[in-house]
Amino acid sequence: MGFAIADEESNPNFDKRSGFDSQTGIYHSLVQLNENQKIPTQPNLDIATFVLSQFPPPYQAETKVALINSTTNHQVTYAQLRGSINSLAAGLYHGLGVRKGNVIFILSPNSLLYPTICLAVLSIGAVITTANPLNTAAEIIKQVNDSGANLAISSPEEMHKLYPTGVPTLVTSRCKEDSNPHLSVEELIENCEPLTIPTTNITQSDTAAILYSSGTTGTSKGVVLTHSNFVSLMTLLKWSVDVSKSQDDVFLCFVPMFHIYGLAFFGLGLFCSGTTTILMERFDFIGMLEAIQNHKVSNIPAVPSVILGLVKYNNLGGYDLSSLRRVGSGAAPLSKEVADGFRKKFPWVNLRQGYGLTESCGAATFFVSEDEAKARPASCARLLPNFSAKVVDFETGLALPPYREGELWLKSPTVMKEYLGNEEATNATFYSKGWLKTGDLCYFDDEGYLYIVDRIKELIKHNGYQVAPAELEAILTGHPHILDAAVIPIEDEESGQIPVAYVVRAGNAEELTEDQVIKFVANQVAPYKKIRRVSFISAIPRSAAGKILRRQLVLHSKGLIISKL
């Protein structure tokens, strides 16, 4: 592997081990792509054309399986997938008049049709915006209006939430009992010939998607991602699959495709490497175990809460998980304790943590090898090719060297264009020359490995000290009788804020008390980090990507305080 910047070899300020340039304060990726792996630069290239160009050749596409429904075992080959994309694109363009720049609102759980819908929409220059099917009607109305959606595509069971918007709507599939039938995606695919679509002059700078951030600590915002962002990301994902030698792996998809993690990886990216994906419509822990066993799944891109479940679940002996080879973790921090517990329980499985955010199209870091990941279980790897980073002191604005904590800033071709219609938020997030301020507290070590400490906004301010909830949550989930945990701040007159824990007991641990939990944490941390109060709860509220919804817990805690007055 070479260095990302050719001139760095002769730069006296550049540290070849960490990638840090002491003169500029910039960390550079230590990986350089070869000529065949570099990001395409032709201006008139859209992401759908790029993905389709990476499909297996026709003589393989007829038999190579792209997708399998984990429940019904229905299979879709690459040839069938290409045909469905082309037919749906023709139906949308010629039948419904969808044009470049139109925004298509997608409201559906995972399905075999989801990638077809996304790629068909993108191929005619229209823009996708995706939503969680669990969202309320009010949340959906807000997103439809904010995104300026011209057409909606919905699963039948969620369609009622779209009625108040007045937006024309397709259903994904026709319901037999539907008394007011709507045109369906399935009908368009079946009845439309893949007609030639006039040249739409899509450029890499055009908007491809408007994805709404989870809004776990604030109001969600529309992240505008371009075709260039996705082409850059697909190039990196293809490289990561190639370098991991996982082209022949069988992947399991249960992360939602409406989230950047699922959309980038399963809705688009894996098709560039010709792999097979087993698709779960909705996550179910036992269903996941059965899918691994029945389909000989070898690769799972997961989230920390799922990995924690695998560590804590005691009845895995009833399932054959021997086919597993790799488990990736993303979307939220994975603690060293959980990573160590996973490796102890599944020593034959490669566990690798990565880091990304919607604003960077889901990418930033990647572990090339399992040896790297094992040696640094708390790290989320090194920067991907074409990425640069800064660690910035949020009080002085100075760029910091290895082992100094500050805010992570990123720059890469995958970084978003803007927040839709929100100039104030865009200006607050971008610094000069395209640096994206992530809001994450982090540091790099002296070999260029990134460590995420926590969200800056979520740090608890106690007596002038900063307490990271993620650190305390890692300790809590290390307790044998705690299944899951979350830590939030509660306002306190004397100390500013105090750390309060919400804890989910393991199934057979009803005797676990508040005092026992407080003492367990106190024995492992400095006095100012101690948990001051514990509430037991049946489940930690999380987003579809596995992030803790702290705002819900803060509201819950305020209700508890009021009820005690």
pLDDT tens figures, 343-364:
999 999 999 888 998 999 988 9
Confidence at 218, pLDDT banded by 50, 70, 90:
low
Antiparallel, parallel or unpaired: β 418-419 and 222-226: antiparallel
How many H helices and E strands in the chain?
Answer: 16, 28
pLDDT at 287 over 70: yes
Question: Rounded to an integer, what distance in angstroms lies between the CA atom of residue 292 and that of residue 295?
Answer: 6
In single-letter form, the type of residue at position 22 comes to: S
The confidence score (pLDDT) of residue 20 equals 93
pLDDT at 8 over 60: no
In single-letter form, the type of residue at position 144 comes to: V
Question: Rounded to an integer, what distance in angstroms lies between the CA atom of residue 448 and that of residue 519?
Answer: 36
Three-class SS state of 300: strand
Q: Work out the average pLDDT over 520-549.
A: 85
The confidence score (pLDDT) of residue 465 equals 72
The confidence score (pLDDT) of residue 217 equals 47
Question: Rounded to an integer, what distance in angstroms lies between the CA atom of residue 50 and that of residue 269?
Answer: 10
The confidence score (pLDDT) of residue 399 equals 94
Question: Rounded to an integer, what distance in angstroms lies between the CA atom of residue 281 and that of residue 284?
Answer: 9
CB atoms within 10 A of CB 518: 16
pLDDT at 506 over 50: yes
Tokens 């971008």 identify what position?
430
More confident residue, 150 or 562: 150
Measured in residues, the chain has a length of 565
Q: Work out the average pLDDT over 523-548.
A: 85
Q: Which CATH fold topology does 461-564 show?
A: GMP Synthetase; Chain A, domain 3 (3.30.300)
Antiparallel, parallel or unpaired: β 326-329 and 299-302: parallel
pLDDT at 546 over 50: yes
Taking a C-beta distance cutoff of 8 angstroms, is the pair 11, 21 a contact? yes
The confidence score (pLDDT) of residue 179 equals 54
Q: Work out the average pLDDT over 253-263.
A: 91
The confidence score (pLDDT) of residue 453 equals 84
Antiparallel, parallel or unpaired: β 435-444 and 75-77: unpaired
Question: Rounded to an integer, what distance in angstroms lies between the CA atom of residue 428 and that of residue 516?
Answer: 43
The confidence score (pLDDT) of residue 317 equals 73
Three-class SS state of 400: coil
Nearest residue to 401 (alpha-carbon basis) of 437, 340, 363, 443: 443
Confidence at 216, pLDDT banded by 50, 70, 90:
very low
The confidence score (pLDDT) of residue 361 equals 92
Tokens 């996941």 identify what position?
288
* Cα dist from 193 to 90, 190, 237, 489, whole Å: 7, 8, 32, 58
Question: Rounded to an integer, what distance in angstroms lies between the CA atom of residue 243 and that of residue 234?
Answer: 14
What's the pTM value of the predicted model, to 2 decimals? Answer: 0.84
Enumerate the domain spans of the chain.
461-564
More confident residue, 163 or 6: 163
Q: Of 278-292, 307-321, 376-390, which gets the smallest average pLDDT?
A: 307-321
Q: Work out the average pLDDT over 16-43.
A: 88
pLDDT tens figures, 230-249:
999 999 988 888 776 666 78
pLDDT at 549 over 90: no
Helix axes 304-312, 285-295, angle to 10 degrees: 80
Confidence at 152, pLDDT banded by 50, 70, 90:
very high
Confidence at 226, pLDDT banded by 50, 70, 90:
very high
The confidence score (pLDDT) of residue 4 equals 41
pLDDT tens figures, 436-457:
999 888 999 999 999 988 778 8
pLDDT tens figures, 464-495:
677 888 888 888 988 888 888 999 888 876 77
| Token pair listed for 214 | 């989870």
**Which positions ≥6 away from 522 have C-beta within 8 Å?**
530, 531
The confidence score (pLDDT) of residue 125 equals 95
The confidence score (pLDDT) of residue 26 equals 95
| Token pair listed for 360 | 């960077």
pLDDT, averaged across the chain:
87
pLDDT tens figures, 65-122:
999 999 999 999 999 999 999 999 999 999 999 999 999 999 999 999 999 999 999 9
